[in-house]
Structure 1
Amino acid sequence: MTQKELFHIGESWFLQQNWKVFPFQKQAWKAFLQGKHGLLNAPTGSGKTYALWIPIVLNYIKNNPDYQTKHKKGLKAIWITPLRALSQEIKQAAERVTKDLNTQLTVGIRTGDTSQKERATQKRTMPDLLITTPESLQLLLASKGYDKTFKNCSAIIIDEWHELLGTKRGVQIELGTSRLKTIAPQLRIWGISATIGNLEQAQEVLLGSNSKALENSVLIKANIKKKIKVQSIIPDQMETFPWRGHLGIHLLDQVIPIIRKSKTTLLFTNTRSQCEIWFQKILERYPEFAGEMAMHHGSINKETRLWVEQAIRNESLKAVVCTSSLDLGVDFAPVETIIQIGGPKGVARFLQRAGRSGHQPGKTSVIYFLPTHAIELVEASALQQAVQQNTVEDRIPYLNSFDVLVQYLTTLAVSDGFYPKEIYPEIKSTFCYQAMTSDQWRWVLNFITIGSQSLQSYDEYKKVAIEEGGLFKVNNRAIAMRHRLQIGTIVSDAILTVKYLKGGFIGSIEEFFISKLTPGDVFTFAGRNLELVRIKSMQVLVRKSSKRTSKVPSWMGGRLTLTSQMSELLRQELYKVALPHDALSDGKKKLSKELRSLSHIFERQQRESIVPGSGQFLIETFKTREGYHAIFYPFEGRFVHEALGSLLAYRISLLSPITFSLAFNDYGFELLSDQEIDMQQVIDNDLFTTSHLHQDLQKSLNATEMARRKFRDIAVISGMVFTGYPDKILKSKHLQSSSQLLFDVFRDDEPDNLLFKQSFTETFEHQLEEGRLQIALERIEKQEIVWKRCEDPTPFSFPIITDRLSREKLSSEKLEDRIKKMTKILLKK
């Protein structure tokens, strides 16, 4: 069959759906049918799924002219999705094509939710088209005879590649595809990505550095300009001293009319606890929404999540309060309106969420921005600029993740075994391990066979045997079973299931929150007030409670930080208002409505201090009954501020012995002490220098302690620590103590251990963002340092002070009263 005839089949199918084929879809069809690899860059809701399902099916038709009467069983294509929640949607899209074109292709799903019965069926006969996750792909590589399963595979599609890039799951994909390239000669590798800043690098990471796949590849960009309209919800009364902590609830009454006039509204929150609070508060104040509103986040049980997704599709729900669990690809055509509660902290995340509205080609996406405090309106103004300038973040890929490599090699050893000479070139062809040395490779092989230098005496670390002929193989069934149970790179706190005392599964919750509660305590979860009865094995047993006051679960990773692009945009917006006080009102016409609405805050800030311009770095000092405050404003995001605050406190302590407490938010950080800092001495001694940055950071932050925590994840991923069997998972404190023991052994006896060294590399590069910190310090070094001695807290400093107060274990009522009193005093002045 010619390409023209095949295209005719695809185009006719599109016509039957009353759809138009976009040029980027045809480009993808053509490149795929020519045997090319590629990366497809297209906005959410533009039809990118069919850009690749169609050519997969057309390629099958081309190679099997009698496809309507004969069916050759076996795996032909794999579709990788980072979220299990998306698999049903992708399956429906595939089935629509395969059935309408009268092929006999079968479509299956294999994720953590797949039943044992279904897995057994797949073991006997694989579906033709398989939708799976990065972890489940690795599990398939851990099964005997996997090469026969994959040998006729013509395609592997990695969906939402921008989400996987820059994570260890992305590294898993790199390793998995490096193996499949060898055993499936017809394999084409394709990624689908929303816009990211480093698209060319994303393609290189996907296909492998200097690989044949990269040479025979295309980068296809959909030339579809997604129209995005950002509307800020500006409070009628704007606080002069903005403070964080009330989660935007004070604007709830302005949200309800927006929900009422839309068919379906998604309210995006940044954390699961914020999601729970908003859901509760809307129902408390507007009980008529009961039955018309639902909640969606990753800890709610699968059945409820699927029900919510289906209810959005058939428009039976008016509103859904959700987290990033609904960020990605699920195709909700009817969603009219998106409300973003609080700053999304990143441009890509914001655009992804905006794309859920008007989720069809050519439709305008409308997204409302609701600030949780006044200064967040500057973020809203910055996002408007990002939309206009099409500014998006880079995703930084991992290099030399030896823990993932150890896991992968053990996976291959569990199945059919491997010969190092065959596997080494495959691994070296990946982006992640391109710079790995032969010494490091030998170390990894030693580690899986004898357990590294300091663990040689312990048999449990000798997992892989070297058989005659040099085959590396796991022969111990117990080791193989434990390894299969632990495949994956998502390491979080132990997860406990929440169940009613009389039966009924509600969802899952992280151990670190529940461990703080005692029986009788009431907490809010999945929209219900629940009383803790007891914790039994890995179950949290609860009963319903009618108490009004309750604790809201917090989840790890709840605090997002500004990305570097977002920080840059934020600074540019602030520089626009850094005018002399009397010129501010004249310049109003050039400012966005968000910035204009904050003019009284900026005017007060100018009066009491300054709004820093592009060449200025602001430091404010003042005294209150709490002590001496020094506030610094880099506008670089909370992670950088945490590191920079600790670094500065350490460097000041070298000049004079002062102890500080540190507070920070996305705009700046505070050093609070009981004695005054000699700020002139700080400025004169050039404490913002980049010299000796790495050494000073290590000393200031107790980097060893941070690396120790990071090492726990590395120990789990590399299989040094076993997390337990499904019905008997180890408590996180036991995991921590096991990994700490190993950390101490390596620190004292084997400091060159690659996994030990990796814990420090990851701490500095990924957690402390040392690269960003270096750039921030280089910028500050060039700026004029403006030190303002203030009488009282300024509008800019107020959110930072209240951020600290909210972490001092005050109840929310006490905190609110205290902040109101502070505000009253300041406003009187």
Structure 2
Amino acid sequence: MTLSPIIRDWFTARGWSPRRHQLDMLEAAAQNRHALLVAATGAGKTLAGFLPTLNALVTDPAEGLHTLYISPLKALAVDVRRNLLMPIEEMGLPIRVETRTGDTPSDRKQRQRVKPPHILLTTPESLSLLLSHEDSVFLFSTLQRVIIDEVHAFANGKRGDLLSLSLARLQTLAPQMERVALSATVADPDDYRAWLAPDGDIDLVQLVTGEAAAEPDLQILLPEGRVPWAGHSGQHAIPQLIEEIGRNNITLIFCNTRFLAEYIFQKLWDANDPKYAIGIHHGSLSIEARRKVEGAMAEGRLRALVCTASLDLGVDWGDVDCVIQMGAPKGSSRLLQRIGRSNHRMDEPSKAILVPGNRFEYLEAQAAYDAVHEGVRDGETFQPGSYDVLAQHVMGIACAGPFDEAELLTEVQSALPYSALDAGTFHRVIEFVATGGYALKAYDKFRKLVLRPDGKWHLAHPKFAAQHRFNAGIIVDSPMLDVRFRNGRKLGKVEEGFAATLTPGNRFTFAGMALEVESIKDLDLIVRASTKPANTIPSYMGARMPLTTHLADRVRQMLTDRAGWARFPDDVREWLEMQDYRSQMPEAGQLLVETFPHDKRHYMVAYPFEGWNAHQSLGMLLTRRMESRGLMPMGFVASDYALGVWSLKPIIDPTPLFSADILADEFIEWVEGSYLLKRAFREVAVISGLVERQHPGKRKTGKQVTFSTDLIYDVLRKYEPDHLLLEAAWADARARLTDVGRLGNLLDRAADTMLHVDLERVSPLAVPLLVMIGRESVAQGSVDDELLLEAESLAGVAMTP
């Protein structure tokens, strides 16, 4: 395939020439091959993905959908449309480009199915809904290419399961379709080639790599005082951030949570004497607020923007010349992705600054710094496809028309996550969709499919199609309330649990404003602007970003690389040296466990470095085991790096507490008796379509959804314990919510490598964890001030809270 003269002239007019990987993508399309492009941020990945499309449509702009672009984020789809329209308009091409997401007006969605654009930009969820319509056969019959952007962001999760099933369906409707995926941060390209390929055959997918990008300009910002013992906000750096904003045209300030984004935004405004224009952007703000900020950024009207993962991926604002990461990056790939938002051009170095919140986070920041400069990425694990997602997909296929079970199984098996699915299990999924399962099939509301004499499965009633489309989706947020002014203007959403703590007159900060509660009506939180300061910020129950195994291993290595301590700040180096003197450092593969008494209490601190999820789970299990052995545990606290437990009786030998059989005994008992399994069941029940989130014109409250799922959960546990959804909930509770794989590895390691050090008092390495007690403990009990004073005395400096 040769590049059209019109496109070549456009490159020339801009003083450009096509990059090698862009021409390689053109060649792959000429050979009708699927392709995975791995290229640095700013290398023109998106243009490379669309180049074969534009080249084909220049010569033959026939009506019908030619290319489908799939983005993990709505904002990215909008941004790509804006960037794609520029060359199309400059070349004068009659190519129509439109977006279709949850924010698209319903009349435009209706028109798109009748008269589709040449290029449609959408998300995995919106694509799944499109496939649920009877006219999907017509809509996708002309499809030539599908482009999946930022594929690393969702391929190995439930959204990836849904997209892989949708790709299999698209390939059936359009056998000529080419699959293309784009990414800058793939650790193992073959894993993604297999995921992208029909039937997992990586030989069908050509790997295209881009040229190396300029080395990033990455710094770790040290406080003007000492590196704090604890805390994650990095608020000590606010004056330095204001100075940094003044040095740059536009600065992006990334925070790992929405709570932290609101907090840092408020702190920046409090210190913003130069009156810089600073905005905020996160997923709980209204679409109007997000679009307003995005427009202001695109037009260069903001000096800084505080944001979350809502802007992690691909959004191209060329004037951003500095990225700041507040707190620990949690992974080298995520950090590299965020760094790439700065100087979004391959031949210019991206400038980024890390702001660690505490001493352990400093080590993590240094580990990420080293990994980025070495070009090392975090590996990712692909899991078998989940049953709840498959159930949702089966229902969507049924909404589009009758289906043959054997034919659909073959199609589903061509998606890598479901390649090992057997006919018996698939039939269980279909029976669940059809009847709800043995214990529920007597209820008409669960009878959605019927097997007709023609041997095909049909919808039992058309109403179930509308019900499916209202409730389909993979992302299950905690129940939310809309935050509105009395005039109806919507600011965004807060979680129902947070709203339940508010009464009229309470004040809180949201969307960068101080708000006062007027009333709560149904699913609306009515507010007004407050002239008085607010002392509360909404918190959200979204999953914590996990510390990757790769970065955890690097931090472990730093602890014993004594020669490398010389490059650390004095207080961090002295902290490690004092630990080495008063206790020990865990060697590679060792599990260090320290015990020490204080004021009639006994403390045990372990340093697994397996991430907060695994440590939180282990803390719950250890306290249960300690209780059964009469040790009288009082509570525990966990971080990404360590776990601390305190009790009334001493722990003489911790080895038996960490034995691997804890996963076979206490783990099962704990999960079945805790909220964990019920929460996992609520999510799979919603995703699978068993429980509705909303009806046309009516949305259920979180309490209503929870009541429905809890009731069904109890019925199934009693009458059908082998129900498909209970199996799916267990898989979620184990693999996703408790990080049981890392927990199992930790316990296996503990059996042979535990290093137990019995101390007279707290160790330096334990201080950052003990400072958290009373703030983040999930069990009763707290460390008193005297112990913290002892820790402070040990370190020889005043602790920063």
TM-score bucket of the superposed structures, by smaller chain: over 0.9
User: Residues 375 and 614 of structure 1: is their aligned pair in 2 closer, same or farther, counting only changes over 3 Å?
Assistant: same
Q: Indicate which of 366, 376, 390 corresponds to 1:391.
A: 376
Q: Indicate which of 708, 712, 726 corresponds to 2:682.
A: 712
Q: How many angstroms apart in 2 are the aligned matches of 1:195 and 1:560?
A: 17
Which deviations, in whole Å up to 9, do the C-alpha atoms of 1:366-409 show, x marking residues without a partner? 21111212331111211122113322222323314111111111
CA contact (8 A) 2:70 2:123 kept: yes
Structure 1 residue ranges without an equivalent (≥5): 578-586
The answer for the alignment partner of 1:734 in structure 2 is 704
Aligned length: 795
Which deviations, in whole Å up to 9, do the C-alpha atoms of 1:668-722 show, x marking residues without a partner? 10111122222x3x33x4x434356344422345566412210101101111111
Q: How many angstroms apart in 2 are the aligned matches of 1:23 and 1:524?
A: 49
Partner letter of residue 436 of structure 2? G
Q: Indicate which of 796, 802, 806 corresponds to 2:765.
A: 796
Match status 1:777 vs 2:747? yes
Q: Indicate which of 319, 343, 346 corresponds to 1:358.
A: 343
Q: Indicate which of 167, 174, 180 corresponds to 2:164.
A: 174
CA contact (8 A) 2:635 2:777 kept: no
The answer for the alignment partner of 1:142 in structure 2 is 132
Match status 1:603 vs 2:577? yes
Q: How many angstroms apart in 1 are the aligned matches of 2:491 and 2:606?
A: 45
The answer for the alignment partner of 1:217 in structure 2 is 205
Q: Indicate which of 647, 650, 655 corresponds to 1:673.
A: 647
Match runs of 1:265-414 below 5 Å: 265-289=251-275, 292-414=277-399
Q: Indicate which of 756, 761, 776 corresponds to 1:807.
A: 776
Structure 2 counterpart SS, 1:613: coil
Match status 1:205 vs 2:174? no
Q: Indicate which of 192, 217, 225 corresponds to 1:229.
A: 217
Deviation at 1:360, TM superposition (A): 0.3
Structure 2 counterpart SS, 1:797: helix
Structure 2 counterpart SS, 1:131: strand
Structure 2 counterpart SS, 1:603: helix
Structure 2 counterpart SS, 1:259: helix
The answer for the alignment partner of 1:51 in structure 2 is 48
Deviation at 1:93, TM superposition (A): 3.1
The answer for the alignment partner of 2:243 in structure 1 is 257
Structure 2 residue ranges without an equivalent (≥5): none
Q: Indicate which of 485, 509, 519 corresponds to 2:504.
A: 519
The answer for the alignment partner of 2:485 in structure 1 is 500
Deviation at 1:567, TM superposition (A): 0.7
The answer for the alignment partner of 2:39 in structure 1 is 42
Structure 1 counterpart SS, 2:434: helix
Deviation at 1:819, TM superposition (A): 9.6
Which deviations, in whole Å up to 9, do the C-alpha atoms of 1:553-574 show, x marking residues without a partner? 1011263331111111111112
Structure 2 counterpart SS, 1:806: coil
Q: TM-score, normalised by structure 2?
A: 0.94
Partner letter of residue 207 of structure 2? L
Partner letter of residue 600 of structure 1? E
User: Residues 815 and 366 of structure 1: is their aligned pair in 2 closer, same or farther, counting only changes over 3 Å?
Assistant: farther
The answer for the alignment partner of 2:407 in structure 1 is 422
User: Residues 717 and 803 of structure 1: is their aligned pair in 2 closer, same or farther, counting only changes over 3 Å?
Assistant: same
Q: How many angstroms apart in 2 are the aligned matches of 1:8 and 1:790?
A: 79
Deviation at 1:427, TM superposition (A): 0.5
Match status 1:632 vs 2:606? yes
Q: Indicate which of 731, 734, 750 corresponds to 2:720.
A: 750
The answer for the alignment partner of 1:103 in structure 2 is 93
Q: How many angstroms apart in 2 are the aligned matches of 1:491 and 1:542?
A: 26
Q: How many angstroms apart in 2 are the aligned matches of 1:778 and 1:11?
A: 59
Which deviations, in whole Å up to 9, do the C-alpha atoms of 1:485-536 show, x marking residues without a partner? 0111111112221111244221222212112222221111011111111111
CA contact (8 A) 2:367 2:554 kept: yes
Partner letter of residue 697 of structure 1? F
The answer for the alignment partner of 1:581 in structure 2 is none
Q: How many angstroms apart in 2 are the aligned matches of 1:108 and 1:91?
A: 7
Task: Among all aligned residue pairs of Structure 1 and Structure 2, give the percentage whose two residues are the same amino acid.
Answer: 31
Q: Indicate which of 651, 655, 663 corresponds to 2:637.
A: 663
Structure 2 counterpart SS, 1:130: strand
Partner letter of residue 776 of structure 2? R
User: Residues 718 and 112 of structure 1: is their aligned pair in 2 closer, same or farther, counting only changes over 3 Å?
Assistant: same
Which deviations, in whole Å up to 9, do the C-alpha atoms of 1:193-222 show, x marking residues without a partner? 2222232112211224345xx443211122
User: Residues 823 and 790 of structure 1: is their aligned pair in 2 closer, same or farther, counting only changes over 3 Å?
Assistant: closer
The answer for the alignment partner of 1:20 in structure 2 is 17
Deviation at 1:795, TM superposition (A): 2.7
Q: How many angstroms apart in 1 are the aligned matches of 2:672 and 2:601?
A: 25
User: Residues 795 and 222 of structure 1: is their aligned pair in 2 closer, same or farther, counting only changes over 3 Å?
Assistant: same
Q: How many angstroms apart in 2 are the aligned matches of 1:773 and 1:224?
A: 37
Q: How many angstroms apart in 1 are the aligned matches of 2:21 and 2:307?
A: 32
Q: How many angstroms apart in 2 are the aligned matches of 1:563 and 1:287?
A: 38
Match runs of 1:230-245 below 5 Å: 230-238=218-226, 242-244=229-231
Q: TM-score, normalised by structure 1?
A: 0.91
Match status 1:529 vs 2:517? no
Q: Indicate which of 50, 55, 71 corresponds to 1:81.
A: 71
User: Residues 321 and 19 of structure 1: is their aligned pair in 2 closer, same or farther, counting only changes over 3 Å?
Assistant: same
Partner letter of residue 752 of structure 1? D
Partner letter of residue 112 of structure 2? Q
Q: How many angstroms apart in 1 are the aligned matches of 2:285 and 2:787?
A: 34
Q: How many angstroms apart in 2 are the aligned matches of 1:97 and 1:815?
A: 62
Partner letter of residue 164 of structure 2? E
User: Residues 718 and 41 of structure 1: is their aligned pair in 2 closer, same or farther, counting only changes over 3 Å?
Assistant: same
The answer for the alignment partner of 2:234 in structure 1 is 248
Which deviations, in whole Å up to 9, do the C-alpha atoms of 1:717-753 show, x marking residues without a partner? 1111111236432121221121122222222221221
